[in-house]
Amino acid sequence: MSELYIGLMSGTSMDGIDAVLVRFHGERPELLASHAQPWPVKVANRLHALCNPGVNEIDRMGEMDQIVAIHFAGAVRALLAKTGHHPSQIRAIGSHGQTIRHRPELGFTLQIGNGARLAVETGIDVICDFRAKDVALGGQGAPLVPAFHQAVFGSIKGTSMMLNAGGVANLSDIPGPDDQVFGFDTGPGNTLMDQWYRKHKEGHYDAKGAWGASGWVNQDLLNRLLGHPYFHMPHPKSTGRETFTLPWMELFLAERPPMRPEDVQRTLLEFTARSVADAILPLATGVHEPELFICGGGVHNDALVYRLVDLLPGWKIDSTDALGLHPDWVEAIAFAWLAKSFLDGRAGNLSAVTGASRQAILGCLCPAG
């Protein structure tokens, strides 16, 4: 049977779909092709709106569930067109879907992008809904990528941590026994910066962090943001964009004299950098030559990376390119790996990371036939 898999990911930033074609050599992935497909503006706006309570949510969600699947299928076709592969050569698609609510404290996490529609549209079996089983077992349902990090990078010598700087930032340590590996969401990654940028500028994000770097940190606003109760919770823990929202941040803005937009952006950048560094530093006390490898969109935010270098003295900081895995595609590859794990009958979570009562096979199968 073919060992070719497709991984699909659209993160909390909602800037587009990442699609990868992967061949696995044991646990080690070989990236054969990748495709990035931005969301049409109208679709992105509707997805953003679904992340907040509103009128007629169920009907809107049902419609978007189909629309997301159709766009995911388009990304699959574009990916296969690059390589000339036929759908029959692909063992399965691992689809994360699009998170619109993450509320494990209420017993659910919700990703849309109908797996059955995606299977019908592509003619390929789909594994999806990876987070629900972990939540059913009392876990957070996130982050799931540390299990992939452990499987792929677990043989690295020394003390290393992986930072996925997506819309929400999450951290995992490698290597270590499965029951000792930990990982958790540190807080917002790019989501607040992206939302503020879109409110004031053309485009989806602050390229290289240049706009933010032109501003100044407002210490009072920063302290208010860092005072969120999430940062005082022990791990395992996870969060979502519905926790760290623009309206939440703007409540603090309304309490103070007007600020220049670029100063707000710079403060949001500092908020991400500080919340990441504050999460990392207590975990590596006394460690000799620790390393941090970064993936996700935040790796391209030069201003953010420079601040992490400043805040983590003595750390070697690099992208996952140094480990042989392109930082833009790590999450999508991870969901291809989760699909493979499902079909191989192997657990896809680490209970020490998510807080689930046990490790479990994650996902649901939507057959194409």
Mean pLDDT of successive 10-residue stretches along the chain, which has 369 residues: 87 92 93 97 93 91 98 98 97 97 93 98 98 96 91 74 94 71 91 95 93 98 97 93 92 94 98 97 82 95 98 94 94 98 96 93 97
3-state class of 322 per DSSP? helix
pTM here?
0.93
pLDDT at position 152 is 87
Dist CA 3 CA 9 (whole Å): 19
pLDDT at position 179 is 59
pLDDT at position 1 is 47
pLDDT at position 176 is 60
CB 190 within 8 A of CB 205: yes
100: left (phi over 0), alpha (psi -120 to 50) or beta: alpha
∠ CA 340-345-347, rounded to 5°: 85
E-only strand ranges, the chain: 4-10, 16-25, 28-38, 92-103, 108-112, 126-128, 160-165, 168-174, 183-188, 291-295, 316-319, 364-366
For CATH 3.30.420.40, the residue range(s) in the chain are 4-138+339-366, 145-323
CATH topology of domain 145-323: Nucleotidyltransferase; domain 5 (3.30.420)
Dist CA 58 CA 98 (whole Å): 16
Q: Which CATH superfamily is domain 4-138+339-366 in?
A: ATPase, nucleotide binding domain (3.30.420.40)
CA distances from 306 to 152, 170, 279, 284, 301 (A): 27, 18, 17, 20, 9
pLDDT at position 2 is 52
Q: What are residue 120's phi and psi, to 5 degrees? A: -65, -45
